[in-house]
Amino acid sequence: MTTAAGVEAPSNPYGPPRLVHPLRGLLDVYLTEMRIAIAEQIQYRASNYFYMLGMVAEPVIYLVVWSTVATQQGGSVGGYTIGALAAYYIVWTLVRNINIVFTPYGWEWRIREGQLSAQLLRPLFPIVEDLGFFLGWKPVVVLLWLPIAFFLAVVFHPTITTSPLAILVFAFSLLGAYLIRSLNQSSLGLITFWTTRVGPVFQLYIAAELLLSGRLVPMSLMPAWVQTVADFLPFQYTFGFPIEALVGNLTNEQLLNGLLMQVFWIAVGSVLVRVVWHFAIRRYSAVSG
């Protein structure tokens, strides 16, 4: 092992440890993070389930409201039948579970409790660790989600017409939604380096997400100007696009465009995180260890 100046490191009778190839190492990090996350989730399977059940309340309220509106308007609203609305919000529950990521509150906690110091001492960008860890939750989450989806389907009778291509695009778009949301929220979390309290900014983000992503209501039900604004922002690629890719009968061109826009917002998010990190880390005062 040599130093940056090309000097031999202190003699080590056991020799320096051998390293695996960087690519293999990165894959190993993701797989190990996933294994750890799964092991942790299994530890808390009951509380996870209650959390998921609580989370279902949000789309069920939206579904009941919009189904009522649709009934009063002769069976559909904004082109969505009652069955299509049910399909939208049932798929919503899966997308929501997949796009749960490490939040700015987590960054607050991480800095306050000194956890970030431990991470900064490791030769791995902390956000890479987060991506791997939260990705590891997802297989468990999908397993837990299946019975809930079945129950919702029995109660609300969704009508789904989809295609193999739509299903494939949906699978990729879930990953895209997860990455976009992760990068956005990591950038917001890094604001903690300046403000120490990131809650109000995060709440603003959530409010924008509710209105501009298809989380509160399918985007086609929003006024035209809201849809125009949403086209210039990443939010709809974290909720509306994945859902509609599966149940919205999008054309092949719309599916492709959606995926390309996700790639675009992932690139923007990656650059944003790197730039903010570059300045943020200089402000880190390593409080609490």
Partner 1 sequence: MIDSAVFVDDLRKTFFVPVREGGLGAAFKSLINRETKAVPAVDGISFDIEPGEVVGFLGPNGAGKTTTLKMLSGLLFPTSGIVRVLGFEPSRRESAYLRQITMVMGNRQQLQWDLPALDSYELLRAIYRLHPEDFRRTRDELIELLELGDLVRKPVRNLSLGERMKVETAAALLHRPTVLFLDEPTIGLDLTMQKRIRSFVAEYNQRFGATVLLTSHYMADVQALCKRVIVIHHGRLLFDGDLGALANRFNATKTIGVTLKEGTPDLSKYGDVISSEDGKVSLRVGNAVAPKVAAKLLQDLDVADLTIEDPPIEDVIESVFAGASATPAESEVAEPLAEPAAAEPA
Write out the residues near partner 1 by the rule CB under 8 A: 1, 3-7, 9-14, 16-20, 22, 24-25, 28-29, 31-33, 35-36, 39-40, 43-44, 113-115, 117-118, 120-124, 129, 281-282, 284-286, 288-289
Q: For residue 245, which of 170, 192, 185 has the smallest C-alpha distance? A: 170
Least gap, CB of 246 to partner 1 (angstroms): 34
Pick 122 or 232: Cβ nearer partner 1: 122
* CB nearer to partner 1: pick between 44 and 50: 44
- Give Cα separations from 229 to 133, 187, 205, 212, 258 (angstroms): 33, 21, 15, 8, 16
User: Hunting for tokens 């791995």 — which residue is that?
Assistant: 124
> Cα(117)–Cα(163) distance, rounded to whole angstroms?
48
Count of CB atoms situated within 10 Å of the CB of 43:
10
Cβ proximity to partner 1, 36 vs 168, nearer residue: 36
Q: How far is the CB of 4 from partner 1 (least distance, A)?
A: 4
CB of 117 vs partner 1, minimal distance in Å: 6
Taking the complex as a whole, the smallest distance from the CB of residue 135 to partner 1 amounts, in Å, to 14
* Amino acid identity at 14: Y
Minimum gap (Å) between residue 54 Cβ and partner 1? 21
DSSP character at residue 8: B
**Residue 8 φ/ψ, nearest 5 degrees:** -65, 135
Element (H, E) at 257: helix 252-283
Rounded to the nearest whole angstrom, what is the least distance from the CB of residue 289 to partner 1 in the complex?
5
Distances (CA, A) of 102 to 123, 184, 187, 192, 230: 20, 10, 11, 14, 23
Q: Which is nearer to partner 1, 65 or 287 (CB)?
A: 287
Q: Please identify, using beta-carbon distances, which residue of 19 and 224 lies nearer to partner 1.
A: 19
Q: Which is nearer to partner 1, 17 or 74 (CB)?
A: 17
